[in-house]
Each structure stands twice: as structure tokens, then as C-alpha cells.
A = this chain, B = another copy of it.
Amino acid sequence: MSVRYALLGLLAQHPRHGYELHAAFEAVVGGERIWDVKPAQIYTTLARLQDGGLVSPEAVKQDGGPEKRIYALTASGRTELDQWFDSGVDREHHRDEFFVKLMLSLAMPEINPRRVIQNQRLRLFKDLHSQTAARARLNPKTGLAQILLFDKAIMHLEADLRWLDMVEARLEDVQRQPLPQPEARPRGRPRKPRAGPTPA
């Protein structure tokens, strides 16, 4: 949802057309090397926003070049933006690909989970190194954005590495524990369908 709200925010500054939004987005977010937004996404998102009445086309300019359709934030767009600023961002769900891989490797006798873990550790080290190097290469006047993003990435990579160590340690305890199979429940109405939506 980042792009959606980014467009609302940029249009809150002043009305713009698609190409300008694209450029402004990359300027805010730190340049194309950091976050490469495709023009297609700008235009489709803009269309969806217009559909929802959050932005509306204002005018078409032609200063010697091609047409520029200028979009502006509507009242409900402004409302949505303000609500966004006032709320915390949900943790993006931990639908973690490596976690699935690890659990599957435990369930498949022909796959060695240690190797899977070691693979991932090497990858993380490599990433950590390249991020650290890239961060060091920044000159200070590059602007905040890159620095902050690199720092965040590095901190999360470190967290991942620590987590991997923990996983390995825990695997030594529960050596080759069989996967929890979904017990074949009997059909029909359950014996005790009691309990509220969230039992305390």
C-alpha cells in the first residue's frame, strides 16, 4: 500500500501529473537504485485512486510537449491520508519463505535442514556485507533516505542471523522431530463446539 499513500501525499503538496509523481516518488524514497517504481504502477494506482474518488483529474496541460493530465487530491483523499498519518503501520505479515523452506526440510527425510540453514546464513552474510559496503560508500550529502534504509536493512539482516543461530540451537534439542500431522478428525458435529471467538 506504500505507493497508494505516497501518491496521496505527493498530491497533497500540489496537483501533479503521472510522470511528475513518478519522479517525485523516487526523489522522496531515495532514487532508483533503492526503490525502483515502475511507471505502470503509478498510472494504474492513479486510476484506482480516481475510481475510489480519492483523486480527480483537474486539467490537461500542453506546454509544447505531450499532454499532461494533472490530478488533484479530493476531500475524501485528504481524509484518508490524514487517517493514514495518524495510524501505525501494520507489521507486514511474516509470511516468510525461508520459514516454509525450513519446516519442509524438517518434514522431508531427503533434505538436510542443516544445509538449508547454512545456505541461508551464507546468503545473509553476503547481503549484510554488500549492504554495509554500499552504506559506507554513501557521501553524507546524499540525503537521509538512503542512509536510513541501509541502516534498517542492516539491522534486520543482523536480526535474521541471530535468529538463525537460535533456530540451529533449538534443532539440536529436538533432533529430527516428526512434523505434526493434522490428526484425522471424525466427521460430523464436533463433541464440544463450545468457546467464544477469542477464549481468554
Q: Which residues on A are within 8 Å of B, measured CB to CB? A: 1-2, 5-6, 9-10, 12-13, 23-24, 26-29, 35, 84-89, 91-108, 111, 116, 119-120, 122-124, 126-127, 143-145, 147-149, 151-153, 155-160, 162-163, 166-167, 170, 174, 177, 179-182
Contact = CB atoms under 8 A, between A and B. Distances in A.
What copy number does this chain have within its complex? 2
Contact of A28 (B24, B94, B103): B103
B97 A13 contact: no
Contacts of A6: 100, 104
B149 A94 contact: yes
A144 B170 contact: yes
Given A98-B89, A107-B28, A149-B94, A162 B155 contact: yes
Given A88-B119, A88-B122, 9 more contacts: A27-B179, A35-B93, A84-B101, A88-B124, A89-B123, A94-B152, A94-B156, A99-B148, A152-B163
Contact of A95 (B2, B174, B181): B2
A126 B111 CA distance: 38
22 contacts: A2-B97, A6-B100, A9-B104, A9-B107, A10-B104, A27-B180, A28-B100, A28-B179, A85-B101, A85-B105, A88-B120, A88-B123, A89-B97, A91-B153, A92-B97, A143-B180, A144-B170, A145-B180, A148-B170, A152-B163, A155-B163, A158-B159
